[in-house]
Amino acid sequence: MATISVKNLSHAYGSVKAVNDFSFEVDRGISYALVGPDGAGKTTIIRALCNLLTPDAGEIQLGGIDVATDFDKVKKKLGYMPQTFSLYPDLSVEENLTFYGGIYGVTGARYVEKRNTLYEFSRLKPFADRRARDLSGGMKQKLALSCALIHDPELLILDEPTTGVDPLSRRQFWDILTEFKKQGVTIIVSTPYMDEVARTDRACFVFRGGKLAEGTPEELTRLYQGEIYYVDRLPTTPLLDKLNLIEHVVARRFGTGLHLYLDMGQHPGDIATEITQAGLSVEDLMSVTPDLEDSFIQLMQGQQ
């Protein structure tokens, strides 16, 4: 399976357009993230990729094979992990692995070897006999990932695999993904978390069923237009209100301080008077490098 190509994908649930004329391509051996808030259309795209829904329009090819007509031909090379935990809760960790291995014809010595490798990564071995329903959220996700990887897929498709999982487990989860990517697995993952995007090769901002931007995490970050400053001052409501009155400036709380977002072409020197009137001085402003989230929010607001 060389490349994944999605062309002009559109799908609606009744009158609600979930995905609208969406296109993207993913090269072999790459990890690709679909990033966006809930309801952006990520799951619809993923489900269409896995032939779990027939889109209203559009063409999806996995490794040159048309999903709509020849999905059976790619099944063996595909690993899929849905958004909700979809293993057998009444079976143990090991039994789930055995079952999925069996479906893909991974049995005997090959299964044992594969299982041991996966146990090594997932650290699930001590829990081999535990029922899946009794696992913690993070362990459940690692088991689901292991089941999706048991047959050495070339393409791994994951739908919000770390939603609701604690930060440590999330990191472990991504360590496993990175390991398998190194071995040549192409990965498509949807996520609402910006920090996870930084761990992928390419990403696409998804919003309201459309594509806001696409590129490497660095490229996407650089899309931010304007400047951001941090002010270490208690973000009281009167202070924020005063700052927000200044033209081309948006002030928001940031932890115990606040962030000032200056529109493109604006510099602190240009608004020195207004800043002083609000009770701050230009020297208080510390420049901040915009991150992915800043870039995404700006693009999103541009759409609204």
Partner 1 sequence: MLRSLLGMIRKEFLQVSRDRNLLLIIFAMPLIQLLVLGYAINTEVKLIDLDVYDFDRSALSREFISSMRAGDYFVLHEGDESLFALAERFESGDGEMALVIPNDFSRRLTLGRDVTLGLIADGSNANSAAVGLGYAAQMAREFSQEVTGMKPPVEVRSQVLYNPEMESIYFMIPGIIATLLTMITVMITSMAIVREKENGTLEQLMVTPISGAVLLLGKLIPFAIMGLFEMFLALAFGVIWFGVPFAGSPLLLLALSTLYLFTTLGIGLFFSTVTSTQQQAMFFAWFFSVFAILTSGFFTPIANMPHWVQYITYLNPMRYFVSIVRGIMMKASGLIDLQTNIVALVIFGVVIFTIAALRFHKRTA
CA distance 10 to 19: 5
Nearer CB in complex with partner 1: 90/179: 90
CA distance 116 to 111: 8
**In terms of DSSP bridges, do strands 4-13 and 16-26 run parallel, antiparallel, or are they unpaired?**
antiparallel
Nearer CB in complex with partner 1: 99/230: 99
Q: Cβ 73 to partner 1, closest distance in Å?
A: 10
Other C-beta atoms lying within 10 Å of the C-beta of residue 133:
12
Q: Are 239 and 201 in contact (CB under 8 A)?
A: no
Q: Cβ 239 to partner 1, closest distance in Å?
A: 49
Nearer CB in complex with partner 1: 161/290: 161
Nearer CB in complex with partner 1: 62/194: 62
Q: Are 43 and 80 in contact (CB under 8 A)?
A: no
Q: Are 158 and 81 in contact (CB under 8 A)?
A: yes
Q: Are 49 and 67 in contact (CB under 8 A)?
A: yes
Q: Cβ 100 to partner 1, closest distance in Å?
A: 7
CA distance 202 to 33: 6
Q: Cβ 90 to partner 1, closest distance in Å?
A: 4
Q: Are 286 and 231 in contact (CB under 8 A)?
A: yes
Region label for 209, one of left (φ > 0), alpha (ψ between -120 and 50) or beta (otherwise): left
CA distance 239 to 279: 8
Strand order in the sheet with 65-66: 16-26, 4-13, 57-62, 65-66
Nearer CB in complex with partner 1: 127/205: 127
Q: Cβ 250 to partner 1, closest distance in Å?
A: 42
Q: Cβ 167 to partner 1, closest distance in Å?
A: 25
Q: Cβ 159 to partner 1, closest distance in Å?
A: 11
Q: Are 266 and 249 in contact (CB under 8 A)?
A: yes
Other C-beta atoms lying within 10 Å of the C-beta of residue 200:
24
Nearer CB in complex with partner 1: 75/248: 75
Nearer CB in complex with partner 1: 96/221: 96
Angle of helix 137-149 relative to helix 93-103, nearest 10 degrees? Answer: 20
Nearer CB in complex with partner 1: 149/280: 149
Name the residues that contact partner 1, by CB under 8 A: 50-52, 72, 75-76, 78, 80, 82, 84-91, 95, 98-100, 102-105, 107, 131
